[in-house]
Amino acid sequence: MTGAIMYISGGRWDGIPGTDRLLAEALAEASPVLWVDQPAPIFRFPDVRSAACASLAGSTEKVAPVIERLRLPAPPLFSSRLGHSLTGWIGQKCMQAALLRSPRAIQAVVNSSPIVSFPTGTRTPKVLHITDDWLAAAELIGFTPALLRAALERNLREADVVTAVSEGLAAKISGFAGRPVQVLPNGCQRPDGVRGQTDPNPVAVLVGQLNERLDLDILESVANAGIPLMIVGPRSESSPVVGHRLDALIKHDNVDWRGAVPREEVRKLLLTASVGLTPYSDTDFNRSSFPLKTLEYLSAGLPVVTTDLPSSHAVKCSSLAIAGNPAQFVALVKERLGTRPSPEEVEEMRHLALENSWSSRAGALRKLLSASTEDKLPAYDREGHHE
């Protein structure tokens, strides 16, 4: 595929790197990318406020050699019905202007936002990539279920191809939309070396945001069992009850909370630990998810203990242990403390990481786009005409 790809994200470029940014960066290995931020309120984000006029004119910021970033400004109360409508109108104006200004023809649009619509008037292939169960996430996302449902229905009508990160989510969306949904799971960083030959520190590590998605009963059990626990990631909880429990957890004698850490430092920290933890609670939202952290642990050569969720069974690796309750979780973590993986386990994890790298995910997405292109008119050029 030639030309650029517009990637409408469910987050901000400078937020915590997740599915959208990692997939967009992988796509950029072969194609320029026009990244579109999730709408952000101008009263909360100074950079969005200062760039509002430029964004309306389609002006972008270079954030990587072949990635341009477009901010979408949002008014106050943008999650209300009236505010959402105004935000949608602003977003369309920004994206249309950016399409016209783009020095490269936009050959495809990938949309992974739960609230932003595809740009109108484009006849390029459109992929709706569903990264989470948005209909079950109204409280987490901050929009009403009705608004999220309307946005999803609108984008499903516009999309030529629909993908989802897990089998369960794909089946759910397929039933909702009455159309096929392809599975495009999350990926991981390519393995970038071999773990040291010395035994690792007897430390368990948890990477990611601390919020309501985690099973705090399990984390408290791990800490109370005397297991050294390093936690890498910021807090993002909204519940006061969860907040109080997190306060107590990070103050525990066995817990070393590092907070938000630059992405390049996370990998180094993983190499110092014995086992990675994926302790998600059993909820509708989590059952449809595909946790990034599980594959990232394995990519770093780190065995994993995870809770029993469908996505856990999708990863076939002998270094992945699945626990059905807190006691079993603690026992499995203890088995791995201070133990170096065997050469066979290391090779298995390395092979798994290569097969599931973000580059391989981007390649799969490009194949879907290429197949869709056969039935579409050529790209949208900078003058606003179809080539």
Residue 238 in contact with residue 212, Cβ under 8 Å? yes
Residue 290 in contact with residue 170, Cβ under 8 Å? no
Strands (E), 298-374: 304-307, 320-323
- pLDDT tens by residue, 321-347: 999 999 999 999 999 997 889 999 999
> Residue 70: what are its φ and ψ, rounded to 5°?
-115, 120
Q: Residue 242 pLDDT > 80, yes or no?
A: yes
Amino acid letter, residue 274 = S
Residue 236 in contact with residue 206, Cβ under 8 Å? no
Amino acid letter, residue 223 = A
pLDDT for position 76? 85
Give me the DSSP letters along 267-299.
HHHHTT-SEEEE-B---HHHHT---HHHHHHHH
Q: Which helix (H) or strand (E) holds 127?
A: strand 126-130
Alpha-carbon distance of 211 to 205, in angstroms, equals 16
How large a percentage of the chain has pLDDT more than 70? Answer: 94
Task: Give mean pLDDT, residues 188-213.
Answer: 83
Strand, coil or helix: 358: helix
Q: Residue 84 pLDDT > 90, yes or no?
A: no
Q: Which helix (H) or strand (E) holds 81?
A: helix 81-101
Residue 130 in contact with residue 164, Cβ under 8 Å? yes
Residue 35 in contact with residue 13, Cβ under 8 Å? yes
Q: What are the residue ranges spanned by the domains of the chain? A: 4-187+358-373, 204-352
Which of 150, 183, 151, 177 has its CA nearest to residue 165?
Answer: 183
Alpha-carbon distance of 214 to 319, in angstroms, equals 21
Burial call 339-369: b when 16+ CB within 10 Å, e when fewer: ebbeeebbebbbebbeebbbbbbbebbbebb
- pLDDT tens by residue, 33-45: 999 999 999 999 9
Alpha-carbon distance of 159 to 129, in angstroms, equals 9
Q: Which helix (H) or strand (E) holds 68?
A: strand 67-70
Label residue 383 by pLDDT band (50, 70, 90).
very low
Alpha-carbon distance of 345 to 347, in angstroms, equals 5
The predicted model scores a pTM of 0.90
Q: Residue 382 pLDDT > 50, yes or no?
A: no
Burial call 288-298: b when 16+ CB within 10 Å, e when fewer: bbbbbbbbbbb
- pLDDT tens by residue, 14-40: 988 999 999 999 999 999 999 999 999
Place of tokens 């929009």: 143
Alpha-carbon distance of 106 to 33, in angstroms, equals 9
- pLDDT tens by residue, 161-179: 999 999 999 999 999 999 9
Label residue 193 by pLDDT band (50, 70, 90).
low
pLDDT for position 198? 60
- pLDDT tens by residue, 266-318: 999 999 999 999 999 999 899 999 989 999 999 999 999 999 999 999 999 99
Alpha-carbon distance of 172 to 102, in angstroms, equals 36
Amino acid letter, residue 367 = K
State which fold the 4-187+358-373 domain adopts: Rossmann fold (3.40.50)
A 10 A CB-CB count for 228 gives 18
Mean pLDDT of the chain: 91
Q: Residue 91 pLDDT > 90, yes or no?
A: yes
- pLDDT tens by residue, 125-144: 999 999 999 988 877 777 88
pLDDT for position 273? 94
Q: Residue 263 pLDDT > 90, yes or no?
A: no
Label residue 159 by pLDDT band (50, 70, 90).
very high
Is domain 204-352 annotated with CATH 3.40.50.2000?
Answer: yes
Give me the DSSP letters along 247-260.
HHHHTSTTEEEEES
CA angle (160, 164, 170) in 5-degree steps: 95
